Amino acid sequence: MNTEWAEITLKNLRQCQGEVILPGSKSIANRALLMAALCDQGQRTTLTNVLRSDDTDRMIEALQALGVRLEVESATSTTVHVHGCGGHWPQQPAELDLGNAGTAMRPLLAVLSATWQADARITLTGDARMQERPVAALVDALVQGGAPLQCSSQWGYPPVRIAAGLQGGTFTIDGSASSQYISALLMALPLLPQDSVLRLVGEVVSRPYIELTLAMLARFGIDIIVQNDHQFLIAGGQRYQSPGHYWVEGDASAASYWLAAAAIAGGPLTIRGVGRLSIQGDVAFADCVAQMGAKVTIHDEYIEVEGAALYALDADYNAIPDAAMTMATLGLFATGTTHIRNVANWRIKETDRLAAMATELRKVGAQVEETASSIHITPPAELRHGVIDTYHDHRMAMCFALLGFSNAGVTIRDPLCCAKTYPTFFDELLRLTAAE
C-alpha cells in the first residue's frame, strides 16, 4: 500500500474478477504463535502463512520480550519458527505494550496469569483505544481463581498488572461480551496443576471462534472435554506439544470483502485460502451472499463467486459479527432493508462499530436505525459521495471500499488503518478492478 495515503478516493470501479489469495487469519496466527511458544522446551514449530500485520507483530514482539526464541526471516516473511519454552518465560519484562491487538491482550492476560512465576509483576497495556476496551469479564473470572490482578486506571480495563497465584477450580464467565475471553481461559487453564471447570453464562457471542480455539488446542496436544454448550472440563497439568508444522489458513473475515465485491461487480472471482474445510466461522458469510442472490461455489480450500441481482437479508449475526460488518455496506447494493441483528459486541471492538457504522452510512444517503444490538439499513434511491471516517478501525475502511463500485464513489480517510489485518487490501482491490 502507498504509505503516503492520508485518504483514498474510489469511483467507477468495474468488474471485480480474477483470483485473490487471502492473507493468513489474524485470529489463528496469534493463537498459533502463543500455543507454539507454550510447547515443551526444545520443541520447534514452523508456522506458515502467518499474517504480518500490526496485531501479529504485537504478539511476536511480546513473545520476544518474554524471551521466546522466534526466527523470522524478514519483516514481511510469513514463515515463523517458534521454539517452545513450556510456559517458563526466560525473561520477565515489567510491561508489554500490545497496542490495540485484542487477540494478543486477552490470551496473554489469561496465560500469563496461569504461568507467571516471578516475584515481580508484569503489566499488560495498550494504546488509548485498548484502554477503553473492557476485559472485565475475563479479569473477574481470573480473580475468582485467585489471580491477584490489578487494573491500574479503571477496574476491568487495561493496563492490568499480573502476578502469580491463579489456581484451578470452577470458573464462571459471561459469554455475551466476547468469545476471546473464553478462548483465553481455554488456552490457559490446562497449564494449571489442578483440574478446572469452565462454565459460561448468558448468550455466547461468536461461538465459532470458541470451536476454532478448541480445534487448534487439539492440534497442539491439549484435551478439553466439552460437556455441553456452556460447560468444559479441563484437566490440569497438560503440556502443549508441537505439531511440527502449522499452516495458518486464510482470513475468512477478509474473504467477506471479496465475496461482497464480486457479488456487486459480477466476478467471476476465485478467493483462495478458505473453503469447506475452514475452521473459521466467518466462512458462513459465503452462504449469506448466496442467499442474497449471488452465485457462490464453495470448494475445500477456495470459493468462487459471480454476481447477480441482490436482495437484502434479515438475519442474526451473533456467530459472525466481524463478517457482518461487510453486510452493512453490501446491503446498499441490495433491494430492500438490511437487518443486522444481535451484534451488541460491535460496541467494544476497535471502535463502537454500531455508532460508527450508522454515522458513516448516513453520509452516503442511507436511512439507518440503530439500536443497542442491531442496525437496520435502507439504501437511498441513489447513493451520494461520502467522505468516510474510519475511526482507526480496519474493518470500517475495508467495508466502505465497496462504495467504490457506485457511480458516486467514496473517499476513505486513513486507509492505512487496514494494516491491522490486511496491509495490502487496497492494492489488491485496485489490481482486481479497473477504475476510470
Q: Is 183 annotated as a binding residue?
A: no
Q: What is the pLDDT of residue 436?
A: 42
At 225 the pLDDT is: 98
pLDDT at 53: 87
Concatenate the DSSP letters of all residues of 231-282 into one string.
Answer: EEEE-SS--B---SEEE--B-HHHHHHHHHHHHHH---EEEES-STT---GG
The CA distance from 188 to 184, in Å, is 6
Backbone angles phi, psi at 376, to 5 degrees: -130, 125
Q: Is 68 helix (H, G, I), strand (E, B) or coil?
A: coil
Annotated catalytic residues are 322
For the entire predicted model, the pTM comes to: 0.87
Nearest to 84 by CA among 132, 14, 33: 33
The residues of the chain scoring below 50 in pLDDT are 435-436
Residue 140 CB burial class (10 angstroms; 0-12, 13-18, ≥19):
middle
Phi-psi region of 236 (alpha: psi -120 to 50; beta: other; left: phi over 0): beta
| 27 labelled ligand-binding | yes
26 marked as binding residue: yes
Fold of 7-24+250-432: UDP-n-acetylglucosamine1-carboxyvinyl-transferase; Chain (3.65.10)
Residue 205 to residue 89: CA distance in whole angstroms:
32
Burial (0-12, 13-18, 19+ Cβ within 10 Å), 256? buried
Superfamily holding 26-232: Enolpyruvate transferase domain (3.65.10.10)
pLDDT of residue 151: 95
180 is in an annotated binding site: yes
- Cell readout for 133 is 476496551
Q: Are 283 and 211 in contact (CB under 8 A)?
A: no
- pLDDT tens string 223-274: 999 999 899 999 999 999 999 999 999 999 999 999 999 999 998 999 999 9
CATH 3.65.10.10 range(s) for the chain read 7-24+250-432, 26-232
Tens digit of each residue's pLDDT (9 = 90 or more) over 376-434? 999 999 999 999 999 999 999 999 999 999 999 999 999 999 988 899 999 999 999 96
